[in-house]
Structure 1
């Protein structure tokens, strides 16, 4: 089969089944944005295995299986991440008995507004207390990028939270 024929068949398959597979991902994860990402990732995987999908007895069932497996992997990864975060915070010796829930929520909202790389730099540097070098290794980037992204992220957090709150968050003084 020529690439153009395969491409046309895949496009037709995508048009007929994208909405259903995105809906399936949404129902499995409960997150609309994640569902769109999972459906897109599933279609990329399906395209890479398009010859196998075409030969399947039930191509749509095959596609549903891909989405289901990706959703399962996503949920498991989130569970592992939450466990690691819980273990990290529960192991801290100076843990507050009565944390300021409003402040915690403000910080979480402010961090969520940062682009991923900036948020990752701040969290790795200040919450996990990694060095710039270890942060760069974890993110697969240079130390200079970590420095600039952390600096820009801190400026953004200061704008969002106020200077004093940002200093308390990171334990730094400007």
Structure 2
């Protein structure tokens, strides 16, 4: 009898999670793309975040804001991916420094767009700006998703937008922020 009750509970949990997955997967993939700057990795990162949510679903489903929990997991996964990439680039630079060829005048086309400017922001500023302006989250929801204070969200968003303004110009930033400037 116990097994039957447990099976029914598992089915209900699986059904709830499936609904959660369907409702939030696209949002998490978009967030992963904006935070990482890697469109090819966005789906994998979103899936990994949702897998972590599934493993904790008994706790997450009872939370006040399960989507914020998922965004926080995703942000941590992206942060780890960025750190790994930086470590790998450093290793490659050390190895490659011994075998590099110098190019006197490289032909580099400079294209400034929002994604490139976002990549130049430190991770926390970028995350705050993206969650606040691209995902239209409140300061409270952003703080909850990142596990930081509302004051930190305010300061990091403000500093991030100021840095974007220096990189892109104030008109572009006003458009990014939805005409707030």
Using the size of structure 2 for normalisation, the TM-score is 0.51
Structure 1: gaps of 5 or more residues: 102-174
Q: How many angstroms does 1:98 deviate by?
A: 4.5
Of 28, 31, 34 in structure 1, the residue corresponding to residue 41 of structure 2 is 34
Number of aligned residue pairs: give it.
Answer: 99
List aligned pairs for 1:15-164, cutoff 5 A. 15-90=22-97, 92=98, 95-98=100-103
Partner in structure 2 of residue 14 of structure 1: 21
Give the greater-gyration-radius structure (CA).
Answer: 1
Structure 1 runs, 4 residues or longer, greater than 2 Å off: 94-99
Confirm whether residue 5 of structure 1 aligns to residue 12 of structure 2: yes
- Give 3-state SS (helix, strand or coil) of 2:61's partner: helix
The 2-side partners of 1:87 and 1:35 are apart by 29
Structure 2: gaps of 5 or more residues: 1-5, 107-181
Q: How many angstroms does 1:96 deviate by?
A: 3.4
Larger RCO: Structure 1 or Structure 2 (Cα < 8 Å, ≥ 6 residues apart)?
2
CA RMSD of aligned residues (A): 2.0
Q: For each residue in 1:41-61, what CA deviation from the matched residue of structure 2 results, as whole angstroms up to 9, or x when unmatched? A: 111111111112112221010
